[in-house]
Amino acid sequence: ATHFKIEGLRAAIEDKEILKGIDLEIKGGEIHAIMGPNGTGKSTLASALMGHPKYEVTAGTALLDGENLLEMEVDERARAGLFLAMQYPSEIPGVTNSDFLRSAINARREEGNEISLIKFIRQMESKMKELEMNTEFAHRYLNEGFSGGEKKRNEILQMMMLEPKIAILDEIDSGLDIDALKIVAAGVNSMRSEDRGFLIITHYQRLLNYITPDYVHVMMQGRIVKSGGPELAQRLEDEGYDWVKEELGIVD
């Protein structure tokens, strides 16, 4: 089964330390949620794990099935089974959605073992149907002119097609109306498996009504300061973050 272990992760942006020692262990089958106020480093954690060049990792390890992702190139991390649904997906004019997806899938396969076009199209269309996406999105340029909600569905489509071992979903719920939220959540739930772990970054408890996490972590000022079960998310929704700060003596 999949096993992902982050230890002592520190990362900086332009010499400013944002992540100040993150420890987190995710096993296959588990869903972990990270909540926290704006600007505490949630997206930085996701980007540092993916290997975004803007973020300098200064300490720590992130072992996926025993291999340290932090020592790998970006494409190797994806091939190792890490996936990130971005908070702000980029638009890539000139590359169609389906071309992008097919090359992403083939990049993770051995040479000579590429997915056949027919099989690819069949799979993509069936996943798009599940996500209630119009199949015309296959031929549109990646994210170009997509609405916020369409971008988020498209990120989930990528996840469903790539079948990662660890999926990080960064604010996948932002900009979604309730119907779209349910569709996206159903897509995530359909992907739950013993071989796959999830890290769901969210601002709001709302998403966690549809995707039940096993663990909820609170991130503040670049650290995970508190962990618990789903009841922790509910308390944060009801009471905000001040009580956590008081409990831990955190001063802004």
Minimum distance of Mg ion from residue 83's CB (angstroms)? 17
Cβ nearer to ligand ADP, comparing 2 with 202: 202
* Separation of alpha carbons 159 and 173, rounded Å: 15
Cβ nearer to Mg ion, comparing 87 with 97: 87
Minimum distance of ligand ADP from residue 36's CB (angstroms)? 6
Q: Which of 3, 5, 7, 13 binds ligand ADP (CB under 6 A)?
A: 13
Minimum distance of Mg ion from residue 136's CB (angstroms)? 30
Minimum distance of ligand ADP from residue 95's CB (angstroms)? 23
Q: Which of 12, 18, 70, 124 binds ligand ADP (CB under 6 A)?
A: 18
Cβ nearer to ligand ADP, comparing 20 with 140: 20
CB 237 within 8 A of CB 205: yes
Minimum distance of ligand ADP from residue 215's CB (angstroms)? 18
Cβ nearer to ligand ADP, comparing 6 with 101: 6
97 binds, among ligand ADP, Mg ion, none (CB under 5 to 8 A by kind): none
Strand partners, 16: 13
3-state secondary structure the chain: CCEEEEEEEEEEECCEEEEEEEEEEEECCCEEEEECCCCCCHHHHHHHHHCCCCEEEEEEEEEECCEEHHHCCHHHHHHHCEEEECCCCCCEEEEEHHHHHHHHHHHCCCCCCCCCHHHHHHHHHHHHHHCCCCHHHHHCEECCCCCHHHHHHHHHHHHHHHCCCEEEEECCCCCCCHHHHHHHHHHHHHCCECCEEEEEECCCCHHHHCCCCCEEEEEECCEEEEEECHHHHHHHHHHCCHHHHHHHCCCC
Minimum distance of ligand ADP from residue 150's CB (angstroms)? 22
Cβ nearer to Mg ion, comparing 128 with 219: 219
Minimum distance of Mg ion from residue 203's CB (angstroms)? 7
Cβ nearer to Mg ion, comparing 38 with 113: 38
Q: Phi/psi of residue 111, each to 5°?
A: -60, 140
- Residues in touch with Mg ion (CB under 5 A): 38, 42-43, 87
Cβ nearer to Mg ion, comparing 42 with 151: 42
Instruction: Give the angle subtended at the CA of 208 by the CAs of 84 and 33, to the nearest 5°.
Output: 45
Contact characters 34-73, ligand ADP, x per CB under 6 A: --x-xxxxxxx---------x-------------------
Q: Which residues bind ligand ADP (CB under 6 A)?
A: 13-14, 18, 36, 38-44, 54
